Structure 1
Amino acid sequence: MEGTQRRRRRWHIAVFLAPAMLVYTAIMILPLFGTLQLSLFTADGQSRVFAGLDNFRRLFLDPRWSASFWNALGNNFWFFIIHMLVQNPIGIGLAALLSSPKLRFSAFYRTAIFIPTILSFVIVGFTWKLILSPLWGVAPNLLDLVGLKSLFTPWLGKEQYALTTLGLISVWQFVGIPMMLIYAALLSIPDEVIEAAECDGITGMSQFWKIKLPLILPSIGIISVLTFVGNFNAFDLIYSAQGALAGPNYSTDILGTFLYRTFFGFQLQTGDPYMGSTIASMMFFIILAGVCLYLFAIQTRLRRYQF
């Protein structure tokens, strides 16, 4: 009798999981394997021939491809570093402030900070491009009102500033996500732990650094890996603000825009689906390596802090 009930439960699990698994397989797994397969071929006239790892060799060593690839990869790492060093610490700080029971209107502040995350990339990119425009943007006038107009420069038009500016715009848009995740983690800390810390005289910022921060380290680890995955899949903001050429002079080019130009072509450049699939495969391998590093090298050390 017990064996029959267990088999029924297993059938129920399979029935409920089947639709999600079918959809995920159709839109994620099959295209992934198709991309990996396509990266192993190349065009020979009108036919397709097996090239093995030659496309990857060209991507790494051929000057026609390697310069653009390493430039995009370096820009991607810098884009990620900006989010790790600016977005996540700010998100943690905001969560710590908003979790204080003494703060009034905390719900309003949480909503106001989180609203930009639901905006379209196109809206955000185009709006900030207008704001920072030296011709009709409001940034020069606002700086002039406080006597700092001399500090203004066309940040999106200079190679040394463009990528950092876009990274900070992305931080402004998505700082609400780490804030809400850390806020939820702080609320999940048992009251007994906080009360015991207060009995020992640990309050205020000391309580956050000594008690709360170690307990939310697993959540910080999850936010870090989500930031890594999101930044190495980035495309929309760069494309909407700087176009497919990721100007000026490819200074904001990341793997996403490099993949777009290669696979689909742009202006007079014809698309190359084989090299495009190779770039997409490298993006997958980079993300896979980062996630595996987190799962096997970092998460195992953070489990000791979980309840």
Structure 2
Amino acid sequence: MAKTTKNAANVQRAPAIVVALFILPAFVLFAAVLLYPMASALGYSLFEWRGGTNLVRFNWFDNFVTLFTEQPYIEQMPRAFLHNVAIFAGTLVLQNSVGLFLAVQLHRLGPVRRLFQVLYTTPYLVSPLVVGYLWTLLLSPTFGPVNAALEAVGLDWLAVSWLGEPATALPVLILVSVWQWIGFPVLLYGAALGAIPPELSDAASVDGASGWRRFRHVTLPLLTPVIGTVSILTFIGSMETFTLPYAFGGATGSPAGATDVLSVLFFRVSFQSGASNALGVSSALATLLFLFILGGALLGRRAIRAQEEKLS
């Protein structure tokens, strides 16, 4: 018995060098793909650059000041930021509501739900750039099947230029984004629903609770961690979105800047502005975006943890 206990203790104490060797490949990849570019952008943001990579001088935070004091940044950056916020708000509401509804309905189907889960998750396996161009064709006011179908059923007043009008371009962008990514929250909510012991709902049913009350007071609180995870990932994805807005509106965020977001603004400043210090200013914008996403994610995680502690 003593020998068995000793062997178990030896198994638990893995050598630090073994742990480091297992972690090192992933850390090297993470550092090369993420840490190094982020550190480089932070470094570039603190310098003045002339002619691409031609370094001139260390200018402290002048590039950040430029973003808030000079045109066209003081006009375009708040507009792009508000569009990111609108995408986050719309996507969050639809993914958490429609995604949860679909997950609940699929959970009741039994084994057949696997088929529908695959169908719902297929769109987010496709590149957002491809999805954007496909929907551009589908919504075309001249030959798109969406407007043709609306006209065929007598809804001609709805057959508009969906991506050509500032009033409709951003809502369409949000809806297409939700359509593409809805499968991810469906999978997460489905897994969470499967992990909830059915005895809890059965006990509430015996006490006379209706189906809605069982969901509201038993199921929904237990889904709080998953709701928080979906919300944080939606926040990160919405704030750094680029490919879908770029596919819809190009580098200018057309029409009239209605699809302009911070990542598209970064691309425009970096490669199309022609500014003498484009590298420094765009790096400052990227640094601000990273800090905002990091801060928002940390605050969201803290709020979710507080809710989880209330449930425990």
Aligned to 1:249: 256
Cα distance in 1, alignment partners of residues 276 and 161 from structure 2: 32
Cα distance in 1, alignment partners of residues 207 and 14 from structure 2: 52
Quote how far apart the aligned CAs of 1:300 are: 2.3
Tell me the amino acid that sits aligned with residue 85 of structure 1: V
Cα distance in 2, alignment partners of residues 37 and 239 from structure 1: 27
Tell me the amino acid that sits aligned with residue 155 of structure 2: L
Mapped pair 1:32 → 2:38: yes
Give the TM-score normalised by structure 2: 0.90
Matches within 5 A, 1:67-82: 67-82=75-90
Aligned to 2:3: none
Please give the per-residue CA displacement for 1:273-299, whole angstroms capped at 9, x wherever unaligned.
Answer: 111101100110110110121122332
Aligned to 2:225: 218
Question: How many residue pairs get matched?
Answer: 304
**1:234·1:256 contact (CA, 8 Å) conserved in 2?**
yes
Of residues 265, 276, 280, the one that matches 2:282 is 276
Of residues 143, 156, 164, the one that matches 2:163 is 156
Could you tell me which runs of 5 or more consecutive residues in structure 1 were left unpaired when the two chains were aligned: none
Cα distance in 1, alignment partners of residues 158 and 229 from structure 2: 37
Please give the per-residue CA displacement for 1:197-248, whole angstroms capped at 9, x wherever unaligned.
Answer: 2322335333211210010011101110000000111000111222111101
Three-state SS of the structure 1 residue aligned to 2:260 is coil
Tell me the amino acid that sits aligned with residue 193 of structure 1: L
Aligned to 1:167: 174
Label 1:49 to 1:117 Cα distance change in 2 as closer, same or farther (>3 A).
same
Label 1:180 to 1:8 Cα distance change in 2 as closer, same or farther (>3 A).
closer
Aligned to 1:202: 209
Cα distance in 2, alignment partners of residues 276 and 269 from structure 1: 10
Matches within 5 A, 1:1-307: 8-43=14-49, 46-101=54-109, 105-265=112-272, 272-305=278-311
**1:263·1:271 contact (CA, 8 Å) conserved in 2?**
no
What percent identity do the matched residue pairs reach?
33
Tell me the amino acid that sits aligned with residue 49 of structure 2: A
Label 1:212 to 1:144 Cα distance change in 2 as closer, same or farther (>3 A).
same
Label 1:120 to 1:5 Cα distance change in 2 as closer, same or farther (>3 A).
closer
**2:248·2:259 contact (CA, 8 Å) conserved in 1?**
no
**1:262·1:271 contact (CA, 8 Å) conserved in 2?**
no
Cα distance in 2, alignment partners of residues 189 and 17 from structure 1: 33
**2:103·2:189 contact (CA, 8 Å) conserved in 1?**
yes
Cα distance in 2, alignment partners of residues 30 and 269 from structure 1: 25
Quote how far apart the aligned CAs of 1:6 are: 6.2
Tell me the amino acid that sits aligned with residue 167 of structure 1: I
Quote how far apart the aligned CAs of 1:5 are: 6.4
**1:182·1:219 contact (CA, 8 Å) conserved in 2?**
yes
Quote how far apart the aligned CAs of 1:7 are: 5.8
Quote how far apart the aligned CAs of 1:79 are: 1.0
Q: Which has the higher mean CA deviation after the structures are superposed, 153-162 or 141-150? A: 141-150
**2:49·2:279 contact (CA, 8 Å) conserved in 1?**
no
Three-state SS of the structure 2 residue aligned to 1:48 is strand
Label 1:8 to 1:179 Cα distance change in 2 as closer, same or farther (>3 A).
closer
Quote how far apart the aligned CAs of 1:269 are: 6.8
Cα distance in 2, alignment partners of residues 23 and 35 from structure 1: 18
Q: Which has the higher mean CA deviation after the structures are superposed, 4-13 or 157-166? A: 4-13
Quote how far apart the aligned CAs of 1:37 are: 1.2
Quote how far apart the aligned CAs of 1:69 are: 0.8
Label 1:127 to 1:44 Cα distance change in 2 as closer, same or farther (>3 A).
closer
**2:141·2:161 contact (CA, 8 Å) conserved in 1?**
yes
Cα distance in 1, alignment partners of residues 166 and 71 from structure 2: 22
Tell me the amino acid that sits aligned with residue 248 of structure 2: A
Cα distance in 2, alignment partners of residues 271 and 57 from structure 1: 13
Q: Which has the higher mean CA deviation after the structures are superposed, 291-300 or 50-59? A: 291-300
Cα distance in 2, alignment partners of residues 109 and 303 from structure 1: 34
Could you tell me which runs of 5 or more consecutive residues in structure 2 were left unpaired when the two chains were aligned: 1-5
Cα distance in 2, alignment partners of residues 242 and 285 from structure 1: 26
Quote how far apart the aligned CAs of 1:104 are: 7.5
**1:39·1:274 contact (CA, 8 Å) conserved in 2?**
yes
